[in-house]
Amino acid sequence: MDRLPFNRGEGRHSVARTVFHGKRGELRQHYREGQEDQLGALGLMLDTTVLWNTIYIEACLDQLRTEGYAIKDADVARLSPVLH
């Protein structure tokens, strides 16, 4: 990733572009229901990715705290599960 996203929405779109690599990132269904199915599946994958990242980041922070590292709240506040 070349730059950090400006907001969460942009960050989510950035992850979506990375995840949606099949069929070159194009909606190939020619009917509305098929496109909705594709977008729904993409949304599910994005939500799963963000949830996994959230759990993983929290586990990493807990481990660092257990090992005695000082974790600043300001640094934690800047973490985002939509970065990839």
Sign for the pseudo-dihedral over CA of 67, 69, 74, 80: negative
Q: Which helix (H) or strand (E) holds 73?
A: helix 73-78
pLDDT beyond 80 at 82 = no
pTM above threshold 0.85: no
Domain-located, residue 22: yes
pLDDT of residue 35: 65
Q: Which residue has the tokens 């990839």?
A: 84
Q: Give 34-49 pLDDT, tens digit per residue.
A: 667 777 777 888 888 8
pLDDT of residue 77: 86
By residue range, what is the domain housing residue 74? 8-78
Domain-located, residue 83: no
Domain-located, residue 3: no
Domain-located, residue 2: no
Tokens standing for residue 81: 């599960």
pLDDT beyond 60 at 60 = yes
Greatest Cα-to-Cα distance within the chain, rounded to the nearest angstrom: 56
Tokens standing for residue 56: 């993983």
